[in-house]
Amino acid sequence: MSKASISKWRNCGVSILRGAHAIRDLRSGLLELVYWLDAHPEQWGLLVLADSRLGKNSLAKELERSRGVIRSDLGDRIKVVILNDPDQLALMVECLNLPTDDRRGLREHIRRQLQKTRRRRIPQSAHDLVFETLVNRWLLKHGPMTTESLMEATGFSYPPVAKALNDLESSIKRYSDRRIDLTRFPRQEWRRYLSQLERKNLARKFVVPEGLSSSPEFMLKRIEKVQSENVAIGGVHAARHYYPDLDLVGAPRLDLAFHCPSGEIDLKWIRQIDAALEPVKSDSQTPQLVIWPVFRVESMFKAYSNKELSFADPVSCLAALHDARLESQAGELVAAFEKNRFISQKSEA
C-alpha cells in the first residue's frame, strides 16, 4: 500500500490512498486526513481509496465506527470514496454534489494526483515528452512555462527534464523569470521525433476483416458512446478543427488519441466502436482505426462545445498525418499555426 498523499484543491484537502486492502489501511488514511483537517479548520477533506479491495459494506461499517472516535467537527468534514476504475472518476465526483464549475476542476486535480501516486512504465523518454509539451504549447500559443510546470505536465522529475531542456537548448528561449519557450517550430528535431515514433511503433492499428465495412464517419459517430475523458479525436478530423481549410476531401481513416500517463494501454473500449475491429497483422493492411497513446500527465486535449469527447493535441494530430503519409497536409497545418502566431504577434505590436 502506498502512503496517503494530501494535496490542497481550493477549500478541500484531497488524500489519495492507493492499495488499501485492509481496515487498518483505511484507519491510517483517515487519521492522516484528520490531522490535516485539524490544522486547516476552514477546509473539508476527501479520501480517495484507489486500487482498493475494500468493499462498500466494510467501508460503511468502519466509517460509522469512526464517528464515535473522531471529533464531530472533524468527522463531518470528511468524505470517503472508492475509485478502482479511472473511467468512473466523473461519476464519483458527480456524487459529491458539488457546483458544476467545481466538478471539472476537482476531477482534473484528482486525476493528476492519481498519476503521481502510480508507478509509471512508459516507452517514451523524458526528452520526447518535454519536446511534445513545448511544441504543443508553442503551436497553441500557450506562452512560456516554468521548469516546475514542465515537470508536472510530463510526470518526470527535475534531472531528466533539465537534461531534455539542455538537449533542446538551440530551440529554446529562456526568460529572466526562468520561464522557457520555443523560439520557432523545431523542424530538425521534429524529424528526429517522428523517426522515434516509427521505430518504437507506438500507434495501435486496427482493421475490419475483409467483407465487412466500417467507415471513419461511422466509427466517429460510434465513438461518442465511449464517453471517456481519456479519448480524443485526432488525425484528419482534429486537423480540420484546427485548420478548416485543410486541403483534403474525406478522411482515409479514424485516428484517436488515448491518454494513458501510467503506461497502461487498455483498449477494451474500442469494441464499443466496432466489435469486428482486429489488430493489423501486416504492413499490407490499411488500418481503419489508429490509436495514439499519449503518455504525458497533461493530455493537452481540447474540449469542444458541450460534448464529452475532445480533440487531440496538435502533436498527436501531426504524427497521425505523417503516419498516414499526408505530409502535405501536415505541412499545411504547421504553416497555419505559424501564420496564426505571426498575425497574433503583429496585432500585439
Least confident of 8-17, 165-174, 334-343: 334-343
What confidence score (pLDDT) does residue 307 get? Answer: 61
Looking at mean pLDDT, say which of 18-22, 118-122, 174-178, 224-228 comes out highest: 174-178
Least confident of 2-11, 63-72, 104-113, 216-225: 2-11
- Say if residue 206's pLDDT is above 90: yes
- Say if residue 294's pLDDT is above 90: yes
Phi-psi sector, 64: left (phi>0), alpha (psi -120 to 50), beta: alpha
What confidence score (pLDDT) does residue 344 get? Answer: 52
The cell 501516486 sits on which residue?
117
DSSP-derived secondary structure letter, 15: E
pLDDT for 53-63, tens place per residue?
788 888 888 88
Query: Which three three-digit cell numbers place residue 169?
Result: 537548448
What confidence score (pLDDT) does residue 162 get? Answer: 93
pLDDT for 323-335, tens place per residue?
999 999 999 999 9
Rounded to the nearest integer, the mean pLDDT of the chain is 88
Percentage of residues in the chain having pLDDT higher than 70: 93
Contacts of 41 (CB under 8 A, 6+ apart): none
Sequential DSSP letters for 48-101: EEES----HHHHHHHHHHHTTTS-HHHHTTEEEEEE--GGGHHHHHHTT---HH
Sign for the pseudo-dihedral over CA of 252, 257, 258, 262: positive
Q: What is the mean pLDDT of residues 219-232?
A: 82
Looking at mean pLDDT, say which of 115-119, 126-130, 245-249 comes out highest: 126-130
Long-range contacts of 106-113 (CB under 8 A, 24+ apart): 106/9, 106/10, 106/12, 106/14, 107/229, 109/7, 109/9, 109/14, 110/14, 110/16, 110/48, 110/83, 111/86, 112/152, 112/297, 113/5, 113/7, 113/14, 113/16, 113/48
